[in-house]
């Protein structure tokens, strides 16, 4: 089920009413959330519920065993079972064909034909998200940062919690799971802020991302016929498409959770106002960055150790992050590129320079800050070209054509439908950059704005009926 | 507190509904004023045609290719039968087209159904423009539109009404705009569009279309064709399906083979697509809206098939 679908508009109020008016006991509410989450997921393909159930059972049982087991060797053994099962599942469904095809290509480049057939494996929606979430539970229990749970319903609800099941934020067990143990009371302010987040998330997705998607898709699919400026605009459109799409999804997920009395972690913090790539990665897909930092980067040694180890760790984390996004060399290249951008900062110990909010005491940024933001946006957008392209060759040709100055023809008319929205969006975000979400309005006129945003969603929502979210494929 | 919260949500939802109804009323009021010259008038004309024309009829139905690319007068002259071109522009979708035929065809009628290649896949929904222009203003369309179209209408209602208001206000000052070809004055009494025949080809527009590589035939469409064939057989109506004319630069060998396979498998699907393929400059504004010369050749090919039947 998609957040921007008619089905969800019916589904959400039904679950909300049942949750607060019919099933008022904590255990009943957890059961309701579990059933609702399975319906939400099964709406896409009920067969893949078995994978969630399998992953849930494995990590629940391993969690229990880990808390009973005192022998460190056996505990480690249990941890590796969980890691193998979860990553094995992820590897098979997401990466099997990639490895097989890469293997065949590698041999064929040496003139040897391999007759290994690839399988038509369907990628289960959200598998990268919920496997990481269950893994975080087992690792935290192993590290004794979290007590294992005996409440299977609470654990299963935590794994499959529908607002964030298919595209995050990837929650830590230590943050979300305890919320299933306590009684929830309806909190008016929390619910109102949740509704605002849902509305703003839909504006980001339906108005900004989907409008940008139309232009970005046209340009990326016909890049050979585009001018240099057209290709630059294509990359910019994609940068806003992916931001609007994914941060919009996260806002709706966080907002929906608040309606049920839950708090999810923030996933985006105005990343395009970052002054360097390190700040960008602290503000973009925060839940994934934090996951990799805590479970991969720090265990590898982080930024401590020799120069060689520092460089190795930066590359590992970015390459793995790229690979997490999809089974294609373009994602790996995108990760590698970000590692290259990040490396100078880590080597000069400037990776934690910009920790404050940009221009926090002034209305506008200084020239220096503006240049830094433009520079950071440019390099991230440059990397997005690899992320969006079908193959690395496509991306390289795309970039080569950008620098074909003879075809750098201004083509403003074609962009007149999208650019005003983008400009308005950037302005709204800029003036909200110190707030949790860009939707804090003056009390006097807020109702008018809510209506305006609703009609914008209704208007643009019908252009591409049921357009999916980009991160569903990851 | 939860009741206060729900109350606010309900008030907000009711406000959205009231504004939506207001948009509909404004759109409908404005539309009624310009109804007689707008293209949907041609839809009314088609309903009148099919109701009033007597016995011994040939009914032409399909997508806009049928409106743009057929000379009904020539068919009438050669076959000595009454010809009615019931096709509409703006992608009316196969559900509407088939429902229309089932509702109005009579015993001994000959139906030539020529859906565009886009119709072979999907669920037969209307094109968005046809939907928002017609559905709420032509009761006849509403009767045969099908559930899928109704669902789409309600999802798109606000967009349709806002766009409709904008279009009406814009066209009021641009009566002779490019779109006027689709209005009432663009059609002859058979229901063919004739206003484009002397125009020059719009090559850049034609070349902006995608190449058709495959029919991608959906089960929905195939089942509907078979069921429609049986339905018309029982009513002693001759139902023939043909392929639209197309620019030869936009079809592939694979598509040609698929159409040949269909012709050999189903006796009611007739004609050779390769006979109706032309160069780009034989078309007006899309690879299946022919100009005069291709229209004559295509019509003659159609007549030849009819004579064989």
Q: Cα A216–A218–A219 angle (5° rounding)?
A: 65
Q: Kind and range of the H or E element at B277? A: strand B277-278
Residue % of chain B over a pLDDT of 90 = 31
Let me know if A175 is a catalytic residue: no
Band of the pLDDT at A53, cuts 50, 70, 90? very high
Which residues of chain A are at the B interface, by a Cβ-Cβ cutoff of 8 Å?
A: 6, 20, 186-188, 191-192, 195, 447, 450-451, 454-455, 458-463, 465
Structure tokens at A356: 């404050």
Quick check: A462 and B156 CB within 8 A?
yes
Is the pLDDT at B193 greater than 50? The verdict is yes
Query: What is the rounded CA–CA span in Å between residue A311 and residue A305?
Result: 10
Please judge whether B158 and A462 are an interchain contact, meaning their C-beta atoms are less than 8 angstroms apart. Answer: yes
- Indicate yes or no: CB of B4 within 8 angstroms of CB of A188: yes
Which of B2, B27, B161 best tests the A interface by mutation, with the highest count of A CBs <10 A? B2
Residue pair A290/A196 in contact (Cβ under 8 Å)? The answer is no
Q: Do B156 and A192 touch (CB under 8 A)?
A: no
B211 touches B250 (CB < 8 A): yes
Give the pLDDT band (50/70/90) at residue B54. confident
Q: Quick check: B152 and A465 CB within 8 A?
A: yes
Q: Which residues of B touch A451 (CB under 8 A)?
A: 12, 15-16, 19
| Chain B hits for A195, Cβ within 8 Å | 9
Kindly report the nearest CA distance between residue A96 and chain B, in angstroms: 28
- In chain B, which among 150-169 make CB contacts under 8 A with chain A? 152, 155-156, 158-159, 162
Q: Cβ of A44: how many Cβ atoms within 10 Å?
A: 17
Cα–Cα distance for residue pair B129/B89, rounded to 1 Å? 10
Q: Reduced to 3 states, what is the DSSP secondary structure of residue B66?
A: helix
Q: Write the secondary structure of A200-244 as one string of H (helix), E (strand) and C (coil).
A: HHHHHHHHHHHHHHHHHHHHHHCHHHCCHHHHHHHHHHHHHHHHH
pLDDT at B277 over 90: yes
Q: Which helix (H) or strand (E) holds B82?
A: strand B82-85
Q: Give me the residue from B4, B5, B158 closest to A458, CB to CB.
A: B158
Q: Which residue of B has its CA nearest to A452?
A: B16
- A15 vs A7: CA distance, rounded Å: 12
Predicted pLDDT of residue B25: 83
Tell me the shortest Cα–Cα distance from A376 to chain B, in angstroms.
Answer: 36
Mean of pLDDT values over B227-248: 92
User: Å from A422 to nearest chain B CA?
Assistant: 21
Beta pairing, strands B82-85 & B238-241: unpaired
Verify whether the Cβ–Cβ distance A450 to B155 is below 8 Å. no
Closest chain A CA to residue B23: A455
Contact: B158, A6; criterion CB under 8 Å: no
- Residue B159 and residue A462: Cβ atoms within 8 Å? yes
Residues of chain A neighbouring B15 (CB-CB closer than 8 A):
451
pLDDT in the model for residue B176: 41
Q: pLDDT per residue over A318-356, tens digit each? A: 999 998 888 788 999 999 999 999 998 888 888 778 778
pLDDT level of residue B218 (50, 70, 90 thresholds): confident
Label residue A448 exposed, middle or buried (CB < 10 Å: 0-12, 13-18, 19+).
Answer: exposed
- Residue with the bigger pLDDT between A129 and A373: it is A373
> Least CA distance to B4: which residue of chain A?
A188
Backbone angles phi, psi at A333, to 5 degrees: -65, -40
Q: Phi first, then psi: give them for residue B87, nearest 5 degrees.
A: -70, 150
* DSSP class of B9: H
What pLDDT score does B125 carry? 61
pLDDT at residue A460 is higher than 90: no
Kindly report the nearest CA distance between residue B247 and chain A, in angstroms. 21
Tens of pLDDT along A160-179?
999 988 787 898 899 999 99
Q: Which of B2, B15, B159 is opposite residue A458, by nearest beta carbon?
A: B159
Contacts of A20 in chain B (CB under 8 A): 2
What distance in Å separates the CA atoms of residue A285 and residue A269, rounded to the nearest whole number?
Answer: 9
pLDDT in tens, A73-85: 899 999 999 999 9
Packed helices A392-402 and A367-388: angle between N→C axes, nearest 10 degrees: 140
Q: How far apart are CA A350 and CA B267, in angstroms?
A: 75
pLDDT-derived band of residue B171, with 50, 70 and 90 as boundaries? Answer: low
Question: Residue A310: what pLDDT?
Answer: 85
| Residue range A398-427: mean pLDDT, rounded | 76
**Binning pLDDT at 50, 70 and 90, where does residue B177 land?**
very low
**How far is residue A265's CA from residue A289's CA, in Å, rounded to a whole number?**
12
Contact A462 B162 (CB under 8 A): no
A191 contacts on B by Cβ (under 8 Å): 2, 5
Nearest to A455 among B9, B152, B158 (CB): B158
Give the CA count within 13 Å in the CB-facing half-sphere of B160: 23
Question: What residues pair up with B241 in beta bridges, in sequence order?
Answer: B113, B269
Closest CA to A3 of A325, A265, A271, A255: A255
Over 60: is that where the pLDDT of A466 sits? no
**B15–chain A Cβ distance below 8 A for any pair:** yes
**When comparing pLDDT for A292 and A121, which is higher?**
A292
- Judging contacts by C-beta atoms under 8 Å, the chain B residues touching residue A466 are none
User: Which single residue is written with the structure tokens 């306590």?
Assistant: A182
Instruction: Tell me what pLDDT residue B178 has.
Output: 41
Name the average pLDDT for chain A: 86
What ipTM goes with this model? 0.80
Q: What is the pLDDT of residue A385?
A: 94
CB-nearest partner of A6 from B15, B19, B155: B155
Query: If you count residue pairs, one on A and one on B, with CB atoms under 8 Å apart, how many are there?
Result: 44
Q: Distance from A312 to chain B by nearest Cα, in Å?
A: 47
Closest among B280, B277, B258 to B209, alpha carbons compared: B280
What is d(CA A105, CA A334) in angstroms, rounded to the nearest whole number? 21
Residue A258: pLDDT above 90? yes
Helix axes B292-308, B72-79, angle to 10 degrees: 30
Q: Decide if pLDDT at B140 tops 50.
A: yes
**If you ran DSSP here, which 8-state letter would residue B290 be given?**
B
Pairing of strands B246-247, B277-278: parallel
Confidence of residue B181 (pLDDT cuts 50, 70, 90): very low
Q: Where does A109-227 have alpha helices with state H?
A: 127-142, 152-160, 173-176, 188-202, 210-221
The residue with greater pLDDT, B97 or A82, is A82
Mind giving me the DSSP string for B114-178? E--GGGGSS--PPPHHHHHHHTTT-HHHHHHS-HHHHHHHHHHHHHHHHHHHHHHHHHHT-TTSG
Instruction: Report the range of poorest mean pLDDT among A367-371, A419-423, B112-116.
Output: A419-423
Structure tokens at B98: 């088939």
The predicted pLDDT at position B141 comes to: 66
Distance from CA of A13 to the nearest CA of B (A): 10
Q: How confident is the model at residue B174 (pLDDT cuts 50, 70, 90)?
A: very low
Please name the residue of chain A whose CA is at the shortest distance from the CA of residue B128: A463
- pLDDT band at residue A155, thresholds of 50, 70 and 90? very high
Q: How far is B259 from chain A (nearest CA, A)?
A: 28
Kindly identify which residue of chain B lies nearest to residue A456, measuring between CA atoms.
B159
């Amino acid at each position: 089920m998609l957040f921007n679908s008619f089905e969800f508009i019916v589904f959400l109020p039904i679950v909300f009413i049942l949750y607060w008016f019919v099933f008022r006991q904590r255990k009943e509410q957890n059961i309701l959330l579990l059933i609702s989450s399975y319906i939400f997921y099964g709406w896409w393909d009920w067969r893949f519920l078995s994978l969630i159930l399998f992953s849930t059972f494995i990590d629940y049982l391993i969690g229990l065993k880990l808390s009973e087991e005192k022998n460190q060797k056996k505990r480690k053994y249990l941890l590796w079972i969980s890691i193998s099962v979860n990553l094995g599942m992820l590897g098979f469904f997401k990466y099997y064909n990639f490895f097989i095809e890469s293997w065949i290509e590698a041999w064929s480049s040496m003139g040897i034909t391999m007759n290994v057939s690839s399988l038509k494996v369907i990628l289960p929606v959200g598998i990268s998200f919920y496997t990481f979430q269950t893994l975080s539970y087992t690792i935290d229990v192993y590290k004794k940062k979290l007590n294992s749970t005996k409440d299977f319903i609470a654990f299963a609800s935590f794994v499959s919690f529908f607002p964030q099941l298919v595209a995050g934020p990837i929650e830590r067990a230590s943050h979300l799971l305890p919320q299933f143990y306590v009684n929830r009371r309806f909190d008016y302010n929390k619910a109102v802020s949740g509704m605002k987040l849902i509305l703003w998330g839909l504006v980001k997705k339906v108005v900004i991302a989907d409008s940008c998607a139309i232009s970005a898709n046209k340009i990326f699919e016909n890049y050979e016929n585009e001018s240099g400026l057209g290709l630059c605009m294509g990359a910019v459109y994609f940068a806003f498409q992916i931001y609007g799409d994914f941060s919009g999804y996260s806002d709706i997920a966080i907002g929906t959770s608040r309606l049920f009395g839950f708090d999810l972690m923030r996933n985006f913090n105005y990343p395009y106002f970052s002054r360097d790539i390190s700040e960008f990665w602290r503000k973009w897909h925060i839940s994934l960055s934090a996951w990799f930092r805590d479970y991969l980067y720090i265990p590898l040694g982080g930024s401590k150790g020799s120069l060689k180890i520092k460089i190795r760790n930066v590359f590992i984390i970015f390459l793995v992050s790229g690979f997490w996004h999809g089974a294609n060399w373009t994602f790996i290249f995108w990760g590698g590129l970000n590692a290259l951008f990040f490396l100078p900062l880590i080597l000069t110990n400037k990776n934690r320079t910009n920790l404050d909010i940009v221009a926090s005491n002034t209305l506008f940024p200084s020239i220096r800050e503006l240049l830094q933001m433009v520079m950071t946006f440019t390099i991230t957008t440059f990397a997005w070209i690899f992320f969006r392209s079908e193959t690395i060759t496509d991306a390289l040709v795309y970039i080569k054509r950008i620098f074909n100055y003879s075809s750098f023809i201004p083509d403003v008319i074609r962009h007149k439908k999208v650019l005003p929205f983008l400009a308005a969006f950037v302005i709204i975000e800029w003036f909200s950059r110190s707030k949790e979400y860009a939707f804090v309005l003056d009390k006097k006129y807020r109702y008018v704005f809510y209506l305006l945003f609703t009609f914008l969603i209704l208007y643009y929502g019908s252009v591409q009926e049921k357009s999916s979210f980009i991160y569903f494929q990851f | 507190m939860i009741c206060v919260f729900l109350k606010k949500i309900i008030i907000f939802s009711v406000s959205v509904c009231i504004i939506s109804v207001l948009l509909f009323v404004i759109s409908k009021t404005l539309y009624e004023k310009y109804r007689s010259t707008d293209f949907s008038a041609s839809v009314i004309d088609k309903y009148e045609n099919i109701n009033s024309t007597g016995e011994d009829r040939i009914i032409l139905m399909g997508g806009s290719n049928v409106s743009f690319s057929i000379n009904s007068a020539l068919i009438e002259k050669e076959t000595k039968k009454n010809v009615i071109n019931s096709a509409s522009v703006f992608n009316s979708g196969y559900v509407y087209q088939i429902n229309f035929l089932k509702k109005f065809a009579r015993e001994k009628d000959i139906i030539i159904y020529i859906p565009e290649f886009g119709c072979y896949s999907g669920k037969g929904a209307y094109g968005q423009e046809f939907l928002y222009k017609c559905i709420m203003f032509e009761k006849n369309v509403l009767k045969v539109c099908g559930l899928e179209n109704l669902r789409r209408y309600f999802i798109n209602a606000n967009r349709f009404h806002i766009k409709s208001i904008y279009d009406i206000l814009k066209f009021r000052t641009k009566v002779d705009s490019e779109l006027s070809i689709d209005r009432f004055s663009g059609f002859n009494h058979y229901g063919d569009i004739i206003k484009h025949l002397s125009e020059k080809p719009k090559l850049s527009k034609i070349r902006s279309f995608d190449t058709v590589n495959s029919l991608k035939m959906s089960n929905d469409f195939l089942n509907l064709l078979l069921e429609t064939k049986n339905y018309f057989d029982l009513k002693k109506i001759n139902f023939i399906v043909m392929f639209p004319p197309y620019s030869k630069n936009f079809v592939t060998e694979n598509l040609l083979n698929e159409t040949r396979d269909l012709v050999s498998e189903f006796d009611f699907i007739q004609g050779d697509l390769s006979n109706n393929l032309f160069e780009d400059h034989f078309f007006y504004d899309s690879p299946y809206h022919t100009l005069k010369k291709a229209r004559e050749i295509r019509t003659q090919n159609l007549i030849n098939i009819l004579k064989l039947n």
